[in-house]
């Protein structure tokens, strides 16, 4: 087995707020192999976005290490030495493309901006050609090039955000709830796009979501986060077939069913579970669950 693309080891991040100390991420470890879509699922406040921000060097973790292509990005010296590589090879896609795209720039400018910043000579002649190519990649036509984000629909804006991230040909795309604010019918389009990018072009994703239904279709492996800890990691099929942690089971049964009779009689799972404790132990090959030793 080759070395993983991303190796997160015992990551801990603490928010201090006056006397209040909040362990947003508590001893989290996982690996992402090249070419896979890794899902990270949890409720708001579970720490999943904090993990993403640590991976992107937005937060500095209190403890633990994050290896990206063998570079320890938590080590300031190694980070500085590989700054350019890290900035281009990791890209972030946000939930709210309405506010993460500059309203005063055209789509062409937004998509080509990373190349301009890193002074990459555009292989297709001009930055505009480059933007056109990236838009084609994500399924948008040339007519979008000169539009402003406000003139686009939510789904189109999210495609522009993805095109911008792809323009650097990143090794890892971190998508922080990229479809949470989209309509169901548009969600499906964006999910298919992610799938296409992974299958046809071999991109690697860290895909963050609060909804297990979405992850099931897209991800090869899923980690479930609860109160700052990963309670279960497993290949997607196995997680859905045989969830071991009570929280995973509760999350699974929270997926609404498009069937009125079944849905009305579906009991509400208990969510007031105690704070997770224990260590990740391997229950089946590749299937880890948090258990008290």
Partner 1 sequence: MSALLDVQDLSVTFHSPHGLVEAVRGVSFSLQAGEVLAIVGESGCGKSVLCKSIMKLLPESAQIVGGRILLKGTDITGYTEREMRRLRGRAFSMLFQDPMTALAPTMTIGRQIGEAVLVHRPRLPRAALRRRVAELLDLVGLDPAAARLCPYALSGGMRQRSVLAVALASEPSLLFADEPTTALDVTIQAQVLDLLRAIQQKLGTATVLVSHDLAVVARAADRVAVMYAGKLVETGTAEEVFYDPRHPYTWGLLRALPARAREGEPLYTIPGMPPSLIDPPKGDAFACRNEYALAIDYEEMPPMFQITDTHFAATWLLDPRAPKIEPPVGRWSK
Partner 2 sequence: MSTVLYCLKKLAAFAVSLLVLSVVVFSIARLAPGDPLVSYYGDRAEKMSPAERAWAEERLGLHDPLPVQYARWLSNALRGDLGISYKYKTDVLEVIQGRLGNTLLLGGLGFLLIFGLSLLLGVLCAWFEDRLLDRWICRIGTVSSCVPEFWLSLVLILLFSVTLRLLPSSGAYTIGHAGDPADRLRHLVLPLTVIVLGHLWYYAYMVRNKLLEEVRADYVLLAKAKGLGKGAILFRHCLRGILPSYFSIIAISVPHILGGTYIVETVFSYPGLGALAYESARYQDYDLLMVLSILSGGAVILCSLIAQAVNERIDPRIRAGEVGPLV
Smallest distance from the beta carbon of 162 to partner 2, in angstroms? 25
Cβ 222 to partner 2 shortest distance, Å: 20
* Residue 58 within binding range of partner 2, rule CB under 8 A: no
* CB of residue 260 to partner 1, shortest distance in Å: 4
Cβ closer to partner 1: 74 or 251? Answer: 251
Q: Which of partner 2, partner 1, none binds 213 (CB below 5-8 Å, type-dependent)?
A: partner 1
Cα distance between residue 48 and residue 42, in whole Å: 7
Per CB under 8 A, 258 contacts partner 1: yes
Minimum separation from the CB atom of position 120 to partner 1 (A): 32
Asked whether position 285 contacts partner 2 by CB under 8 A, the answer is no
Residues in the chain: 293
CB 111, min distance to partner 1, A: 20
Among 24, 86, 152, 163, binds partner 2 (CB under 8 A): 24
- Choice between 25 and 166, CB closer to partner 2: 25
Residues that bind partner 2 (CB under 8 A): 15, 17-18, 22, 24, 44-47, 49-50
Residues that bind partner 1 (CB under 8 A): 43-44, 153-154, 183-189, 191-192, 195, 210-214, 216-217, 236-237, 250-251, 254-264, 266, 268-269, 271
């Amino acid at each position: 087995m080759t070395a993983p693309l991303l190796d997160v080891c015992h990551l801990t991040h603490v928010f201090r707020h006056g006397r209040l100390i909040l362990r947003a991420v508590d001893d989290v470890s996982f690996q992402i192999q090249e070419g896979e879509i890794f899902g990270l699922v949890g409720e708001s406040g579970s720490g999943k976005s904090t993990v993403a921000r640590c991976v992107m060097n937005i937060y500095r973790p209190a403890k633990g290490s994050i290896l990206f292509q063998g570079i320890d990005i938590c080590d300031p010296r190694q980070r500085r030495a590989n700054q350019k590589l890290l900035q281009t090879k990791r890209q972030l896609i946000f939930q709210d493309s309405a506010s993460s795209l500059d309203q005063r720039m055209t789509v062409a400018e937004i998509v080509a901006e990373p190349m301009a910043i890193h002074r990459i000579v555009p292989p297709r002649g001009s930055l505009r050609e480059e933007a056109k190519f990236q838009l084609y990649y994500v399924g948008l036509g040339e007519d979008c090039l000169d539009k402003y984000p406000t003139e686009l629909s939510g789904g189109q804006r999210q495609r522009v955000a993805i095109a911008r991230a792809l323009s650097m040909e990143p090794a890892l795309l971190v998508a922080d709830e990229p479809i949470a604010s989209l309509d169901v019918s548009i969600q499906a389009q964006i999910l298919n796009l992610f799938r296409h990018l992974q299958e046809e072009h071999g991109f690697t994703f860290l895909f963050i979501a609060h909804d297990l239904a979405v992850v099931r279709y897209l991800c090869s492996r899923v980690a479930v986060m609860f109160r700052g800890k990963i309670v279960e990691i497993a290949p997607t099929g196995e997680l859905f077939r045989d969830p071991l942690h009570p929280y995973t089971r509760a999350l699974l049964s929270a997926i609404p069913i498009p069937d009125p009779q079944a849905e009305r009689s579906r009991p509400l799972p208990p969510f007031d579970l105690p704070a997770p404790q224990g260590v990740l132990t391997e229950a089946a090959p590749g299937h880890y669950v948090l258990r008290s030793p």
